[in-house]
Amino acid sequence: MRVIFAPDSFKGSARATEVATALAEGWASIRPDDELLLLPMADGGEGTLDAFELAVPGSRRLRVAVTGPDERDRSVRDVEANWLLLPDGTGVVELANTSGITLIDSLAPLDAHTFGFGQAIADALDHGVSRLLLAVGGSASTDGGAGVLTALGARLLDIAGNELALGGGALAALHSVDLSGLRERPASGALVLSDVTNPLLGPQGAAAVFGEQKGADAAQRAELEAGLGRLAAALTVDPSASGAGAAGGTGFGLRAWGATLAPGSEAVGEALGLPREALRADVIVTGEGRFDEQSAAGKVAGYIVALPRQPHASVMLVAGSVEAPTAGFSGVRSLIRLAGGRGVALAEPLRWIREAGASLAVTYPSPCGNRRD
């Protein structure tokens, strides 16, 4: 059989390339004669650069030092990041490796910002990119993209005309935004790759839905919501637009720059040629760290299970935890269940991912009668 392994990363545990390899190793231990194709995926979050680098021959990683997401001094560049230059002149910039939540030692819900992400975008512009793909998943902040806009030349001012400090908490003092110094987008525009469809404000907005995972308690979420409201009032962008709440409102800030939003999984899948390969596959195995209600709304697993495929073809899912209905998947494996507990699964994620791959392969008769000892 022809089997495709197209997982997302298991955030905090394993990169998508590692997950795809481990799944394939497990599968091959049961069915060594199958044709295996590894296409590690991303949805606009962590691993997006890896996916594009694998998919597009001739891509080049360019290093850039940026201000970390919890650094208060804008002149300090304490994060060694990189962005990807594709052969056609497109630049791919990933928020996760410039202003991501994995880059800070302790959560800073009011102070964290996206200034470093903006610096990396500016570096890509300095290199003359013709188009930008901006992967915004994995944010540490809820600043509405204020940090990005500041790094690109905007001035966020208080009532006295002083520039605001970085971070979502500083938006409480926002009076006006001066966009006159904002850098121009590249000739072919900027596309925001996002895995969420939330608006900027309200009960489904950036602060309400994602603030807690970034360390904000109820009072801080209310403070961040108010600040985002002031930012929305100062800019002529619709805060209710789908994806405006992505990455703590970074989607909103980038829309103010004139960028457009697109499903990240779809953009990465197209670059990898996944729709074409899916039509030739007998089995597609995907996965992510947690499969929940949001997985169907732009994340990798939801994108893959919806791809057109042959009538006999199966789609299977491996996840650290499964917390939502799995309709459409012919086989599902939870690492927590396989390992017998969350702690055990997290201690050796790749071991249990291999076990999951082997367990799924067992559901198909082996043409050679091979089984592991």
Q: What is the pLDDT of residues 79-118, one digit of tens each?
A: 999 999 999 999 999 999 999 999 999 999 999 999 999 9
Mean pLDDT of the chain, nearest integer: 93
What is the rounded distance in angstroms from the CA atom of residue 189 to the CA atom of residue 129?
10
pLDDT at 267 over 60: yes
pLDDT tens sequence across 209-265: 999 999 999 999 999 999 999 999 999 999 999 999 999 999 999 999 999 988 888
Q: Set out the domains of the chain in order of their start, with CATH numbers.
A: 2-39+273-361 (3.40.50.10350), 48-265 (3.90.1510.10)
d(CA 72, CA 369): 61
Residue for token digits 């194709």?
37
CA distances from 322 to 27, 47, 294, 336, 342 (A): 21, 21, 12, 9, 12
Report pLDDT digits (tens) over 348-371.
999 999 999 999 999 886 554 444
| pLDDT of 366 | 56
For residues 43 and 39, give the distance between their C-alpha atoms in angstroms, rounded to a whole number: 13
pLDDT at 178: 97
CA distance 351 to 326: 23
Name the residue among 157, 67, 45 with its Cα closest to residue 114.
67
Share of residues in the chain with pLDDT > 90 (%): 81
Q: What is the mean pLDDT of residues 115-137?
A: 97
What is the maximal distance between C-alpha atoms in the chain?
77
How far is the CA of 279 from the CAs of 28, 35, 52, 275, 288, in angstroms? Answer: 22, 15, 21, 7, 22
Average pLDDT, integer, range 300-315: 93
Residue 297 has pLDDT above 90, yes or no: no
Residue range 130-140: mean pLDDT, rounded: 94
Write down the pLDDT at residue 188.
95
Q: Tell me if residue 14 falls in helix, strand or coil.
A: strand
> Which two three-digit tokens encode residue 63?
């290093």
CA dist 159 and 173 (Å) reads 8
Looking at residue 364, its pLDDT comes to 81
- pLDDT band of residue 372 (cuts 50, 70, 90) is very low
